[in-house]
């Protein structure tokens, strides 16, 4: 668009300044997940932000696994994370890194700090360290081991590395300032003993660096310029700067924090999702009710819709929570013009056209998407016996009900006018068949203008229809009660978050649908073929989102 004023977010403004002042002559960003779970919509924000900045500034984007803590990390997560990031469209090209590849350099940095008198080995227990640390209002106390000589520290640290000590027996601490108003600066632990195998380095190490020490070194080694992270690390920035300065990196990276993305009434925490998976409440990390990237993909969200959503959320320093309805808005917008609008009957009853010749079938030409001619047309069989939605017939209609009831005429979408003549009920009083007559003159596209009807309903031809299972999703959380139970911190679950309809009928054209393909079902919503459970002769659809929305675009 010409003359469009593109406003820049605060991070872009900072980058512009750094480039103008010559602090950096290029932009290099990274996404640094810990491989200890699946990525979720919040991570998508970080990925798209970092990748987007690299693109915008013709810089580079690194994919780096922050795998410095062997306790919780697994190869399974490494693979899923890469798949998700690729799917989102963030391309790290050949810039794939693992923090564990830098363990030697991190060790060397620690030795250098000891040599400079900036780090010491401490024998206090974790508990004692905590007690010595002080509080927000009270300065900390020096460790009795703070004044060990450089030689002693070098020897002890080497012994830590060679396995002479048990877990927790000794740590290496940065020597900064026990009276600092910032607790993170009160001689933080930078290395700990942990006799654990690492998923990449095996048993080579029995000491591992702490996050606050490792992360700035990882960034510096890779030549990252702008290390973008979330707000909870703001108080750690002085330590980040201390590490890169004291380790004497040239042209060190700069940390910038932004607010995390939160969705109202949606669970994102790994701890909670893990429990839902383990308790069998959801069907794995990709259960379509979750907002992990894998779950959103399985539900039928597209990378484009997620990008649109993240763009709409913006980047800021103010913590806020976004309505899930905005994500739904984005997927509707994305699919609206792209997807064929097909007919599917979710709660079927039979409609029989008594005056339509028995045994005859005609193929009607139906446009795939009235708003997008480029999607072409398809042939849909039409015959004497159809399925329609149960709710499209009423024996005794209320006012303003324009669908089928005895004596009323409606249009069968893309087909003919039919008039309800009679109906059949079973012994329980449920309607099982609606009998109609049709008017051959009223065929869709024939230019018929004799009379008008007020209702149009969809249908599928019974002998040709494919039976399908349709899964309708609602929020996993009880929105009235909120996400967390105030008493015990557990989740307030919505018992009706999944509804499975097993007796649905869809057009025969669906037989070619593949995993992740999505469609509009006219009048009901957008649906996606379930990648886990659907088979060509036993289709399973996930409802991505209904057609209607209460969401209003912010002005
Ligand atoms: P969680 O505990 O929610 O799963 P995490 O912070 O432990 O998240 P990491 O693997 O450490 O997960 O995160 C990788 C990157 O993603 C970090 O830079 C982190 O700041 C960012 N990130 C995590 N959650 C969000 C969020 N909700 N919004 C934006 N960025 C996020
Ligand atoms: Mg983390």
Tokens representing 508 are 């025969």
Residue 262 CA, closest ligand 1 atom number: 27
The CA-to-CA distance between both ends of the chain, in Å, stands at 20
Q: Residues 6 or more apart from 554 whose CB is under 8 A from it?
A: none
- CA-nearest residue for atom 13, ligand 1, is 33
Mutate to test the pocket of ligand 1, among 42, 48, 218, 236 (most ligand atoms within 8 A of CB): 42
Expressed in angstroms and rounded, the spacing between residue 492 Cα and the centre of ligand 1 is: 23
Residues 6+ apart with CB under 8 A from 344: 458, 460, 468, 470, 504, 505, 506, 507, 510, 521, 522, 524, 527, 541
**Nearest atom within ligand 1 for CA of residue 40:** 4
392 Cα to the center of ligand 1, angstroms? 47
pLDDT in tens, 370-401: 999 999 999 999 999 999 999 999 999 999 99
Radius of gyration over every alpha carbon of the chain, rounded to an integer in angstroms: 31
- Quickly list DSSP for 252-263: --EEEEEPPEEE
Ligand 2 is a single-atom ion; what residues have CB below 5 A from it?
34
Distance 319 CA to ligand 2 centre (A): 18
Domains, the chain, with CATH or none = 18-96+212-260 (3.40.50.620), 103-208 (3.90.800.10), 270-335 (1.10.1160.10), 344-458 (2.40.240.10)
* Residue 34 CA, ligand 2 centroid: distance in Å: 6
Instruction: Encode pLDDT of 75-126 as tens digits.
Output: 888 999 999 999 999 999 999 999 999 999 999 999 999 999 999 999 999 9
Tell whether ligand 1 has an atom less than 6 A from the beta carbon of residue 33: yes
Element (H, E) at 198: none
pLDDT at 1: 46
Tens-place pLDDT, residues 329-377? 999 999 999 999 999 999 999 999 999 999 999 999 999 999 999 999 9
Ligand nearest to the CA of 34: 1
Using a pLDDT cut of 70, give the percent of the chain over it.
98
Q: Which residue has the higher pLDDT, 11 or 320?
A: 11
Q: Judge residue 22's burial from the number of C-beta atoms within 10 Å of its C-beta, 0-12 exposed, 13-18 middle, 19 or more buried.
A: exposed
Nearest partner of 172 among 197, 146, 133, judged by Cα: 146
Q: What is the 3-state secondary structure (H, E, C) of 441-481?
A: HHCCCCCCCCCCCCCEECCEECCCCEEEEEEEECCCECCCC
Please tell me the distance from the alpha carbon of residue 276 to that of residue 327, in angstroms, as a whole number: 22
Quote the ligand 1 centre to 459 CA distance (angstroms).
46
Q: How far does residue 33's CA lie from ligand 2's centre (Å)?
A: 7
Confidence of residue 207 (pLDDT cuts 50, 70, 90): very high
pLDDT in tens, 265-274: 999 888 899 8
Tokens of 459: 């249908």
Q: Is ligand 1 within 6 A of the CB of residue 35?
A: no
511 falls in which pLDDT band (50, 70, 90)?
confident
**37 within ligand 1 shell (Cβ under 6 A):** yes
Structure tokens at 405: 């009831």
The reported pLDDT for the residue numbered 551 is 62
The span from the CA of 257 to the CA of 9, in Å, is 12
Q: How far is the CA of 35 from the centre of ligand 2 (A)?
A: 9
* Ligand with smallest separation from the Cα of 65: 1
pLDDT of residue 323: 94
Mutational pocket test of ligand 1: of 230, 234, 262, the residue with most ligand atoms within 8 Å of the beta carbon: 230
* CB neighbour class for 548 (10 Å; exposed up to 12, middle 13-18, buried from 19): exposed
pLDDT in tens, 280-292: 999 999 999 999 9
Specify the pLDDT at position 458. Answer: 97
- Phi/psi of residue 160, each to 5°? -55, -45
Task: Answer for the pair 75, 199: CB distance below 8 angstroms, yes or no.
Answer: yes
For the CA of 271, the nearest atom of ligand 1? 2
């Amino acid at each position: 668009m010409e003359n469009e004023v593109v406003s820049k977010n605060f991070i872009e403004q900072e980058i512009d300044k750094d480039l103008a002042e010559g602090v950096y002559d290029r932009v290099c960003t990274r996404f640094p997940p810990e491989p200890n779970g699946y990525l979720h919509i919040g991570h998508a924000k970080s990925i798209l932000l970092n990748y987007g900045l690299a693109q915008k500034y013709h810089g580079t984007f690194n994919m780096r696994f922050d795998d410095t803590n062997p306790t919780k990390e697994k190869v399974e997560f490494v693979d899923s994370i890469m798949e998700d990031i690729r799917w989102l469209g963030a391309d790290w090209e050949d810039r794939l890194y693992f923090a564990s590849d830098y363990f030697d350099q991190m060790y060397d940095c620690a030795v250098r700090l000891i040599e400079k008198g900036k780090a010491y080995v401490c024998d206090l227990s974790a508990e004692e360290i905590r007690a010595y640390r002080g509080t927000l209002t009270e300065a900390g106390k020096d460790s009795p081991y703070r004044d060990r000589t450089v030689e002693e520290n070098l020897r002890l640290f080497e012994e830590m590395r060679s396995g002479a000590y048990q877990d927790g027996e000794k740590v290496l601490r940065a020597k900064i300032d026990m009276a600092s108003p910032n607790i993170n600066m009160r001689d933080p632990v930078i290395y700990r003993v942990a006799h654990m195998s690492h998923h990449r380095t095996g048993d080579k190490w029995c000491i591992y660096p702490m996050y606050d020490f490792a992360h700035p070194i990882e960034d510096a080694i890779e030549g990252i310029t702008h290390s973008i992270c979330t707000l909870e690390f703001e108080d750690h920035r002085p330590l980040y700067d201390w590490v890169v300065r004291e380790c004497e990196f040239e042209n060190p990276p700069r940390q910038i924090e932004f607010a995390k993305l939160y969705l109202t009434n949606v669970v994102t925490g790994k701890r909670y999702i893990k429990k839902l998976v383990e308790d069998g409440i959801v069907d794995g990390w990709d259960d379509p009710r979750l907002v992990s990237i894998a779950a959103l993909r399985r539900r039928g969200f597209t990378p484009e819709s997620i990008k649109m959503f993240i763009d709409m959320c913006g980047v800021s320093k103010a913590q806020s929570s976004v309505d899930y309805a905005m994500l739904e808005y984005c997927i509707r917008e994305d699919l609206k013009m792209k997807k064929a609008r097909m007919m599917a009957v979710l709660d079927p009853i039979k409609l029989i056209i008594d005056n339509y010749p028995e045994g005859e079938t005609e193929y009607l030409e139906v446009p795939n998407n009235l708003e997008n001619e480029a999607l072409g047309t398809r042939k849909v069989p039409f015959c004497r016996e159809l399925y329609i939605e149960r709710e499209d017939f009423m024996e005794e209609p209320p006012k303003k009900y324009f669908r089928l009831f005895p004596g009323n005429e409606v249009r069968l979408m893309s087909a003919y006018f039919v008039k309800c003549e009679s109906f059949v009920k079973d012994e329980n009083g449920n309607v099982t068949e609606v009998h109609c007559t049709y008017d051959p003159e009223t065929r869709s596209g024939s230019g018929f203008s004799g009379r008008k009807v007020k209702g149009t309903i969809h249908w599928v031809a019974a002998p040709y229809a494919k039976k399908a299972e349709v899964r309708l999703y609602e929020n996993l959380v009880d929105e009235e009660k909120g996400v967390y139970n105030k008493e015990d911190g557990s989740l307030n679950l919505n018992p009706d978050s999944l509804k499975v309809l097993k007796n649905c009928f869809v057009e025969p054209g669906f037989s070619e649908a593949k995993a992740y393909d999505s469609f509009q079902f006219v009048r009901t919503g957008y649906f996606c073929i379930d990648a886990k459970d659907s088979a060509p002769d036993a289709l399973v659809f996930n409802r991505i989102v209904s057609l209607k929305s209460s969401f209003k675009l912010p002005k």
